A and B are shown apart, each in its own frame.
Chain A
Amino acid sequence: MDAFVTFVWRISRVCGVISAALLLAAVLAVCHLVFVRYVLNQSAIWQHEFVTFSVIAATFIGSPYVLLKRGHVNVDLLPHYLGERGRFFLALFASGASLAFCAFIAVYGFTFWHEAWVNDWRAETVWAPPLWVPYASVPIGMGLMSLQYVADIVAIVLGRDMPFGAHDPSELAEERSETGGWA
């Protein structure tokens, strides 16, 4: 089971790198847009949509990584006042409910993507890029989110990870923390 958990964490980390790269691509594209529009005084054809798509994809794909790093803000008032047992069940509930949401979006997101793919939908602009590409980030991102939540629940049940990221000396927690991995 530990192997499963660490494997999912590794995937989420890759997601983080992809998301950061998409952000970089967006910055470069905006700069290119400004150069074309204001220096060359030409029309910008593709940059607006490319940048929008990149940021959307960065959001959905980056989400599992942010979850791994406990970056999605929550109200930690109740967990703060509960005992260890209470925290355990609360963490299971919060993760399970979030998993339900992510799984629903992943499933409906697949239909959303699939329609655009089958019908070859395009953006209604001069560039007219195929929409299935950015749409794919919804099922992929939310699917991996679901996976990360499953791993979270497994880790909590097995006692490998402390509910709500309370201080935890185990090796897994170390790997999950800021300094693990990429620093």
Chain B
Amino acid sequence: AQTLKASHQWPKDDVRGKMVEIIKTEIEKADVGMDIRVYPSGSLFKPKQQWDAMVKGQLDISAFPLDYASGRHPQFSATLMPGLVKNHDHAKRLNDSAFMDEIKKIINDSGVVVLSDAWLAGGFVGKDFCVDTPDSVQGKVMRAAGPAFEQMLAEAGASINSMPSSEIYSAMQTGVLDGANTSSGSLVSYRIYEQSSCLTPPGDFALWFMYEPILMSKRSFDRLDEDQQDALMAAGQAAEEFFFEKAKGLDQTLVDTYKEAGVKIVNMSKEQYDAWLDVAKESSYKQFEEKVEGGEELIDMALSVD
């Protein structure tokens, strides 16, 4: 039997880890002479190395935040742009849009295949303040997930301190950070509620969404026979459906956990969201459109999805 390697940076019981496990069990069930060996928690490749490893065929499958490869393909930054995705239903509509067709074309052309789509939502926390309007971060030291968010927060007057999400807890505890932005999953699993007084969860108007698909190396994919390829695609579909069921639950878990910990919850209003979008348009959107070839068209395509 053929053994495929699947790698990701999360614990096994993280929702993205579970997606990979689903693909693994579905493939076993399909009985097409193939099995998958999963390497969780970055035990084979460092998170950002996974892209190159897939392109070279050294890694077969990965749950991969696409923005990590934006140094290779700057267009990928569009999948971590402030306010581009408003909520989970919007994310689902976006998957079948011209915008994502364009992104997936770049993915395919560089030698990678998408097995499952997934958009993770996230929010903001503050140590002693609430992130609602752009003015609220004025003069605060913030950590953001992704350069586009860093640019937006810097434009709003925050000073940026970059670090992995695993370090947010102690940075907020020791006062190195005043606030942070990361995925709902990380906000819960790193117990950041112990260090925050206020949470801005992803509600009807969420700023932070990140595209974190399950990807496969094209080199590995093309080596397989048709039955195996079909089985993988079907397994990917199953994982994708599982994720969509879970996605809103993740955000609810976030709110419940923080409420229970006595953290204040504020939801972003339409006006506040629009104010942030204006800031983003002056910073991250503008720089993206200037620096990336075809950037403006990409943004327009994404914004035109209702």
Contacts and interface: CB of A to CB of B under 8 A. Distances in A.
Contacts of A75: none
A42 B147 CA distance: 16
Given A124-B147, A126-B151, A43 B71 contact: no
A125 B159 contact: no
Contact of B147 (A37, A41, A44, A125): A125
A43 B151 CA distance: 10
Interface in B64-96: 67-72, 74
Given A124-B68, A124-B70, A43 B161 contact: yes
A68 B68 CA distance: 39
B228 interface: no
Interface in B135-158: 139, 141, 147, 150-151, 154, 158
Contacts of B72: 119, 121
A37 B171 CA distance: 14
Contacts of B71: 121-124, 128, 131
A32 interface: no
A124 B69 contact: yes
B160 interface: yes
Contacts of B160: 43-44, 126
B134 to A, nearest CB: 16
Contacts of A122: 71, 74
A124 B67 contact: yes
Contacts of A126: 147, 150-151, 160
A48 interface: yes
A20 to B, nearest CB: 28
Interface in A94-140: 119, 121-126, 128, 131
A166 to B, nearest CB: 41
B48 interface: yes
A168 B74 CA distance: 57
Interface residues of A, number: 15
A126 B67 CA distance: 13
B162 interface: yes
Interface in A122-161: 122-126, 128, 131
User: Interface SS of chain A: helix, strand, loop or mixed?
Assistant: loop
B130 to A, nearest CB: 21
Interface in B104-153: 139, 141, 147, 150-151
A125 B158 CA distance: 17
A43 B154 contact: yes
Interface string B47-72: 01000000000000000000111111
B48 A124 contact: yes
Nearest to B158: A43
Contacts of A128: 71, 147
B292 to A, nearest CB: 11
B162 A125 contact: yes
Contacts of B147: 124-126, 128
Nearest to A40: B159
Most chain B CB neighbours (cut-off 10 Å) among A41, A124, A125, A131:
A124
Nearest to B162: A48
Contacts of B151: 126
A124 B67 CA distance: 8
A176 to B, nearest CB: 38
Contacts of B161: 37, 43-44
Contacts of A125: 147, 162
A42 B157 CA distance: 10
A41 B142 CA distance: 12
B24 to A, nearest CB: 29
A30 B123 CA distance: 31
Interface of B: 48, 67-72, 74, 139, 141, 147, 150-151, 154, 158-162
The 5 A-B pairs at the shortest CB distance, nearest first, are namely A43-B160, A124-B71, A122-B71, A124-B70, A43-B159
Given A42-B159, A43-B150, A43-B154, 11 more contacts: A37-B161, A43-B159, A43-B160, A48-B162, A121-B72, A124-B68, A124-B70, A124-B147, A125-B147, A126-B150, A126-B160
